[in-house]
Amino acid sequence: MGRIFLNFLLLIGNRRYLIWELIKREVAAQYIGSRLGFIWTIINPLALILIFWFVFGFGLKAKPLNNIPFAIWLTAGMAAWFNFAEIWGRATAIVVANPHLVKKVRFPTSILPVVTVGAALVSHTIFLGLLIVLLWGYHIPLTFWIGQAAYYYAAMVVLVLGLSWLTASVNVFFRDTTQVVQLLLQIGFWGTPIFWDINIMPPTVRTILKLNPIYYIVQGYRDSFIYGVPFWHDWRWGLYFWSVAGLILMTGALVFRRLRPHFADVL
């Protein structure tokens, strides 16, 4: 399996220009026919953050969590979740959406989920930029621990790539997979401590909820941008996450590799 993953990394390096062109095409395709175009990438997260700030700061008068305004606490968690959900949701359909590429004999189909990751990074970067502006507006100091968000982002990419390879390959043969993934994302959104604090739960329930690997990423973003907690602080949960993410990555890669020769016949 290690050799397969190494070959995939070499493939990404060799096809980096192709991947870059596909990413630009993927981003541009989102705004075809739109007069504002790329500006929507800024408007959407900005509007969302302003809604959080108004609703939870003035409407519901949410109490600060550990002296952190609820809007900031919420935004940090949603930055991680939205990126994960966007990649997995779009990557599940990307093979079916590009039959002209899949049917090319020499086209490396396995890079398609990577294209989705790259395209989603644009909106994610803007979201994080707005989060930093929000931190500055609330006079919350920015520390060098923000840099470790790159580690949690890389961890998220490993997890979501495995999931994407798995569901993108299955979706070719079972088109309801896209709907199943959307349902899982809805359940995961409310089952992950994004809008609510995990500490309100009993210890046993808290431990079960932490088994959700995306919780590690959401909490990691909060630790990086808000609390300044190093990623090795709770190394046991880190070890658990990488075990699960590695297993998912390995399973997704093997399933994709096994089903890939049949994509062109079905599409």
**225 within 8 A of 76, measured Cβ to Cβ:** yes
Q: Which amino acid is present at 119?
A: A
Per-residue pLDDT at 233: 86
Residue 179: per-residue pLDDT: 92
pLDDT in tens, 235-262: 888 899 999 999 999 899 889 989 888 8
Question: Measured between alpha carbons, how far is 192 from 219 in angstroms, rounded to an integer?
Answer: 10
pLDDT at position 54 over 90: no
Model confidence over 129-178: pLDDT tens digits?
888 888 888 888 888 888 899 999 999 999 999 999 999 999 999 889 99
DSSP-assigned letter for residue 228:
-
Q: What does the domain layout of the chain look like in residue ranges?
A: 2-266
Among 171, 147, 74, 162, which residue's Cα sits nearest to residue 117? 162
- Residues 134, 121: Cα–Cα separation, whole Å: 20
Instruction: Report whether 12 contacts 117 (CB < 8 A).
Output: no
Strand partners, 65: 68
